[in-house]
Amino acid sequence: MTKSMLGVIGGSGLYDLPGLENARWETVESPWGEPSDAICIGEVDGLPIAFLPRHGRGHRLSPTGINYRANIDAMKRIGVTDLVSVSACGSLKEELAPGTFVLVEQFIDRTFAREKSFFGNGCVAHVSMAYPVSPGLVDEIEKAARAEDIAYRRGGTYLAMEGPQFSSLAESHLYRGWGCDVIGMTNMPEAKLAREAELCYATVAMVTDYDSWHPDHGEVDITAILKVLKENAHHAQQLVGRLARDFPREHQPCPIGSDTALDFAMITAPDARDPALVAKLDAVAGRVLNKS
């Protein structure tokens, strides 16, 4: 059985991961361009951990400017098996107050200015996104949240918007009408690319505000968000530390097949594939392409 390696992508407010043993920052080259930053690689009680700040240290990158393909490729390339996204978000539900961690189950993708697939002309593949997160990984995160007494809610839909502007009042009400629970700018196309790379993926959405819909809270205020971000980052570090200590050292097969998502996804015949694109897919799809 494959050894587990836990990957963590840290969103706004989470730019490092204290407590890693033998930690070192490594630059990982990707054929898809430059990842957001070097990757901090270390371990917790013998479990290998890889941490990548999504916006780069110092928060240099906007949500649209992030190279999501390079980030996911780099994580896959160094051996990550299970990937946890820790992301700041706005709440679209009264009961999801700032400080609550939401273990998301579904996504609606409203982004439009980003590269969303590793595949394309010359090597076409279609993966299922019906169930975009790995329930086995969410189970482990939920156990860690309970053990650390962190306020959380399991389940819910994350609306991914392009940004960088926050929602208009009309948009906020629209998304609430759709039944969405939280809103953010970064988990798409990240979740789609993680599925194409056969990584077990899960999102911890950390609520910082009520978006713009709440009559008692008004428009989104950066000063207030930054205060909550700091508190959320502390709890996120606790959560990841507990998750790592208790995480299975042997990678558990995904109940929904996230780690075998390409088994029946490849459409292009082997003799019709573009060699240049296939070469770039060595980490992401090598398991399947090497069989063809």
Sequence ranges of the binding site for phosphate? 12, 54-55, 87-88, 186
Contact 57, 37 (CB under 8 A): yes
Task: Count Cβ neighbours within 10 Å for each residue of 82-111 and write b for 16 or more, e otherwise.
Answer: bbbbbbbbbbbbeebebebbbbbbbbebeb
Q: Which residues are annotated as a binding site?
A: 12, 54-55, 87-88, 185-186, 209-211
| Structure tokens that stand for 221 in this block | 């205020």
β-pairing verdict for 106-109 and 47-53: unpaired
DSSP per-residue string spanning 23-50: EEEE---BTTB--SS-EEEEEETTEEEE
Q: Which residues are annotated as a binding site for substrate?
A: 185, 209-211
Whether 209 sits among the annotated catalytic residues: the reply is yes
User: What sign for the dihedral angle of Cα 292, 68, 130, 132?
Assistant: positive
Give residue 79's region: left, alpha or beta (phi > 0; psi -120 to 50).
Answer: left
Closest CA to 241 of 79, 87, 3, 51: 51
Contact 197, 80 (CB under 8 A): no
Which listed residue (211, 216, 246, 274) is catalytic?
Answer: 211
What's the CA gap between 151 and 74, in Å, rounded? Answer: 32
Helical ranges in 85-219 per DSSP H:
135-147, 169-177, 190-196
Which listed residue (37, 73, 109, 209) is catalytic?
Answer: 209
The answer to whether the peptide bond before residue 18 is cis (omega within 30 degrees of 0) is no
Whether 73 sits among the annotated catalytic residues: the reply is no
Catalytic residues: 209, 211
